[in-house]
């Protein structure tokens, strides 16, 4: 039995220590916003925050998440209020199929927070560091939404 803190709540999960965090989140805890895409940490659909760092949960073992704070897309909004990046996502009509969007948003929020800690504005080079895959190809809208969300934070 391993204890995980997800979105501020503790969960005991009965899984093998090497089980990918993705499956503990989805199957054991029941939070299905984090998506399975490729299973090899390439597409980013499974991105969550582990202690504030964007992490591909499909290849991150549960044992590595013990004694950390995990945030999923379900935990990004606070008190029913969407995160500023989530609001920008809606305003820029980013999603088409929507499958990759939770991972895209989690990667974007981690990037925006990093840039803000550094005390600077987000750049095109920063946006290039997000490598999440969108099969619908909404990359221009994704980039616009990230910039808009960053300006509001």
Residue 34: its pLDDT value, please? 97
Residue 153: its pLDDT value, please? 83
What digits encode the pLDDT tens for the residues 2-31?
999 999 999 999 999 999 999 999 999 999
Distances (CA, A) of 89 to 44, 46, 53, 107: 17, 18, 20, 13
What digits encode the pLDDT tens for the residues 114-140?
999 999 999 999 999 999 999 999 999
What digits encode the pLDDT tens for the residues 35-90?
999 999 999 999 999 999 999 999 999 999 999 999 999 999 999 999 999 999 99
The reported pTM is 0.95
Residue 67 class from Cβ within 10 Å (0-12 exposed, 13-18 middle, 19+ buried)?
A: exposed
């Amino acid at each position: 039995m391993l204890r995980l803190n997800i979105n501020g709540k503790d969960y005991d999960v009965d899984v093998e220590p090497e089980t990918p965090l993705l499956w503990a989140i989805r199957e054991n805890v029941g939070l299905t916003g984090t998506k399975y895409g490729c299973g090899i940490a390439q597409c980013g659909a499974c991105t969550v925050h582990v202690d504030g760092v964007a992490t591909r949960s499909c290849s991150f073992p549960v044992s590595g998440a013990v004694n950390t704070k995990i945030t999923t897309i379900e935990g990004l909004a606070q008190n029913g209020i969407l995160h500023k990046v989530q609001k920008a996502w809606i305003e820029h009509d980013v999603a088409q199929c929507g499958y990759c969007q939770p991972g895209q948003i989690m990667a974007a929020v981690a990037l925006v927070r990093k840039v803000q800690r550094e005390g600077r504005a987000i750049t095109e080079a920063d946006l290039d560091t997000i490598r999440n895959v969108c099969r619908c190809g909404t990359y221009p809208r994704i980039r616009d939404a990230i910039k808009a969300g960053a300006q509001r934070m």
